Amino acid sequence: MQKRELGKSGLHVSAIGLGCMGLSYGYGPATGIQEATALIQRAFERGVNLFDTAEAYGPYKNEELLGEALAPFRNEVVIATKFGFNFDANGGQSGMNSRPEQIRAVAHQALKRLKTDVIDLFYQHRVDPDVPIEDVAGTVKALIAEGKVRHFGLSEAGAQTIRRAHAVQPVTALQSEYSLWWREPEQEILPVLEELGIGFVPFSPLGKGFLTGAISETTTFDSKDFRNIVPRFSADARKANQVLVDLLAEIAAHKKVTPAQVALAWLLAQKPWIVPIPGTTKLHRLDENIAAAEVELTVEDLGNIESALATIKVKGDRYPAHLQARVNR
């Protein structure tokens, strides 16, 4: 697979990474350990070297899964994980926590769970309004000096927060949602990243599955699937947003590829320092996503997509209100 540099950081990763959250958390019951391990290792065999996890995915289960699955080729992969939350006795999130002592504790615990002596990319999962970003960046800077972390990242941070953090410790990557149905980062975020030489790692590049065409207004989700509370996944919104999927299907048919591959190829075409991390629990979807790195959209293709998107208004917020308040701080 082609490699891309995340900004000007010197960190080179596969053009498409693997978001591992859904193997343990968020989309219903966790995938079995053996099946999940096989998928992670298949991704590596196919050229993926960027694997994304977080302490919050489980919590802890996803990091443990990755630690075991990637142990045979640890030195050939880039593992990204995250800090920033407290958890209650039942494993639920009980508030943000990016205090310096918490960051250090999470790093120490993540190293054990990931069976490694260094975290390649350590993200703040969400900006903590109670802790100055300079303190966060300074703590990660110290962990980098100690050899426990290699690179610093932010997730869902606003432009000014990115600038303030970057002034203390260069930010290697921002991880935020970006896709054909969520283009807000184009307004403020992408220009700042380009100016500062920061890479961009879009999560949910397939619209949490919607852009694959496999979800319709009649689809029902598992009771533990967080899409049940996402306004954009209400039946009415899915019905209204089907027009976007139809557009992708039309373009895909013309290119003899799949809608998901068009969606990922579109992201890759936006900037050379963008590296999407689609997640999946299915081997055939993994292969489909990886193959998107070979799909080339022409200038004409991109122009046609842009013209068509200008006529489509996506319905529904991407988060319920209480979660939306945590982004773009």
Which of the residues are catalytic? 57
Q: Look at the chain and report how many structural domains it folds into.
A: 1
pLDDT at residue 24 in the model = 97
Residue 106 lies in a domain: yes
- CB distance 280 to 16 below 8 Å: no
Q: How far apart are CA 61 and CA 67, in angstroms?
A: 10
pLDDT at residue 325 in the model = 87
pLDDT at residue 70 in the model = 98
> Exposed, middle or buried, 117 (CB in 10 Å: 0-12/13-18/19+)?
exposed
Residue 250 lies in a domain: yes
CATH number, domain containing residue 107:
3.20.20.100
Domain span including residue 243: 3-324
Residue 217 lies in a domain: yes
Angle at 152 between CA 151 and CA 153, to 5 degrees: 125
For residue range 271-295, list pLDDT tens digits in order. 999 999 999 999 999 999 999 999 9
Question: Each residue's pLDDT tens digit in the chain (329 positions)?
Answer: 999 999 999 999 999 999 999 999 999 999 999 999 999 999 999 999 999 999 999 999 999 999 999 999 999 999 999 999 999 988 889 999 999 999 999 999 999 999 999 999 999 999 999 999 999 999 999 999 999 999 999 999 999 999 999 999 999 999 999 999 999 999 999 999 999 999 999 999 999 999 999 999 999 999 999 999 999 999 999 999 999 999 999 999 999 999 999 999 999 999 999 999 999 999 999 999 999 999 999 999 999 999 999 999 999 999 999 899 889 89
DSSP 223-237: TTBGGGG-GGGSHHH
Instruction: Please give the structure tokens belonging to residue 56.
Output: 């919050």
Residue 329 lies in a domain: no
User: What b/e string do you get for 21-32 counting C-beta neighbours within 10 Å, with b at 16 or more?
Assistant: bbbbbbbeebbe
Beta strands 3-5 and 12-14, pairing class: antiparallel
Q: How far apart are CA 74 and CA 133, in angstroms?
A: 30
Residue 224 lies in a domain: yes
Which phi and psi angles does 130 have, rounded to 5°?
-95, 0
For residue range 85-127, list pLDDT tens digits in order. 999 988 889 999 999 999 999 999 999 999 999 999 999 999 9
